[in-house]
Amino acid sequence: MRPFRSPAMIAGLVAFAVLVWISSAPAQAQDYPTRPIRLVVAFAAGGTTDFVARLAANKLKTLLGQSVIVENKPGANGAIAAESVAKADPDGYTLFFSTAGALSINPAMRADLPYAPLRDFAPVGMVARNTVLLAINSTLKIETAQEFIALAKEKPGAITVAITGVGAISHLAIELLQASAGIKLLYVPYRGAAGALTDLISGQLNAMSAEVPVLLPLINSGKARIIGVSAQARSNALPDVPTFSELGYPDVIADNWSGIMAPARTPPAVIARLNNAINAAVSDLDVRRKLTESGVSPLSGTPGDLADLIQSETARWSKVVKERGIHGER
């Protein structure tokens, strides 16, 4: 026979359970982490996002005393990775390493997006910012961005440009260039950078839009030529390459950024512990040197800084997506 419990008794038991959970949360956060952390990356191995994520993960392993395992989940401009992390337990052991794509661009492109960035995630910390470049195959008989634009006007829709996904920052940089210069290019989407690089080198593609770390090895080996930078200022890694703004196209600004998110309802103390570790990792001299040498700028700040960045970037890219009629991958 089940024991009788009055409503008052049940309410008391519930209140007691809540108090136990609240009182134990700081202790759990203080002990965190006690096992390996999974860092889910929204793009394939070999690209800028993967490079920065692995660099951060290696330093976080030392700072947190636990392995930080990178897991690549490419597709749908980061939506596949985002959805998987949004559904994970909010305990700090599954984190999302994302760029502007999943957090500020996807919401503008897809009405059926299975997550909302600031509802289903808790911002943890910023990591890096990087610049988008336009590279051309070395066999293409042109030298400058002006010549590229002139060729595109002569052959509308015939010049092929690789992008690292529909709605990716590399794609939006091309959309901005097309709108500003009055040209029509044929963009070819890839899931990540590796396949696009192979096709660019082999001559199957005329050009590629991607971030500095992806293209720098090709530039140094002479297998590709950079003709323009989609940023407000020239890249420190390529000081001789002009920005599109300098060339008369001030709207072609498409800096990318990366940050780490946790599932919503992750304990604030865990978020604070992770934020401190991320800021320490980004401030590490060796990490900063490797980022800078690759053309990436380190970023740091509070979870609130990341939330503000997501909101401001969402407003900006929503306007571009709407004006250009861009629809996301599913």
Range of the domain at 170: 132-229
Q: Specify whether 290 is located in the same domain as 205.
A: no
Q: Is residue 243 part of a domain?
A: no
Q: Specify whether 75 is located in the same domain as 152.
A: no
From the list 112, 30, 108, 41, the residue with the least C-alpha distance to 261 is 41
Q: Is residue 13 part of a domain?
A: no
Q: Specify whether 214 is located in the same domain as 276.
A: no
Q: Specify whether 115 is located in the same domain as 137.
A: no
Look at the chain and report how many structural domains it folds into: 2
Q: Specify whether 142 is located in the same domain as 219.
A: yes
Q: Sort 48 into a burial class: Cβ within 10 Å, 0-12 / 13-18 / 19+.
A: buried
Q: Is residue 235 part of a domain?
A: no
Q: Specify whether 114 is located in the same domain as 53.
A: yes
What is the per-residue pLDDT for 29? 62
Q: Specify whether 281 is located in the same domain as 144.
A: no
Distance CA 134, CA 32 (A): 43
**34 contact partners, CB below 8 Å, separation of at least 6:** 66
Distance CA 243, CA 250 (A): 9
Q: Report the CATH number that the domain containing residue 288 is assigned in CATH.
A: 3.40.190.150
- Six-digit token pair at 131? 């610049």
Q: Is residue 18 part of a domain?
A: no
Q: Specify whether 95 is located in the same domain as 153.
A: no
- Six-digit token pair at 138? 């070395």
Q: Is residue 274 part of a domain?
A: yes
Q: Specify whether 77 is located in the same domain as 99.
A: yes
Q: Specify whether 224 is located in the same domain as 162.
A: yes
Q: Is residue 298 part of a domain?
A: yes
pLDDT tens for the 330 residues of the chain, in order: 444 455 455 445 444 444 544 444 444 567 899 999 999 998 888 778 899 999 999 999 999 999 999 999 988 888 999 999 999 999 999 999 999 989 999 998 888 899 999 999 999 999 999 989 999 998 888 999 999 999 999 999 999 999 988 888 899 999 999 999 999 999 999 877 888 999 999 999 999 999 888 898 888 888 899 999 999 888 888 899 999 999 999 999 998 999 999 999 999 999 999 999 999 999 999 999 999 988 899 999 999 999 999 999 999 999 999 988 887 665
Q: Specify whether 260 is located in the same domain as 298.
A: yes
Q: Is residue 28 part of a domain?
A: no
Q: Report the CATH number that the domain containing residue 221 is assigned in CATH.
A: 3.40.190.10
Q: Is residue 14 part of a domain?
A: no
Distance CA 241, CA 173 (A): 16
Q: Specify whether 296 is located in the same domain as 214.
A: no
**Residues in the chain, total:** 330
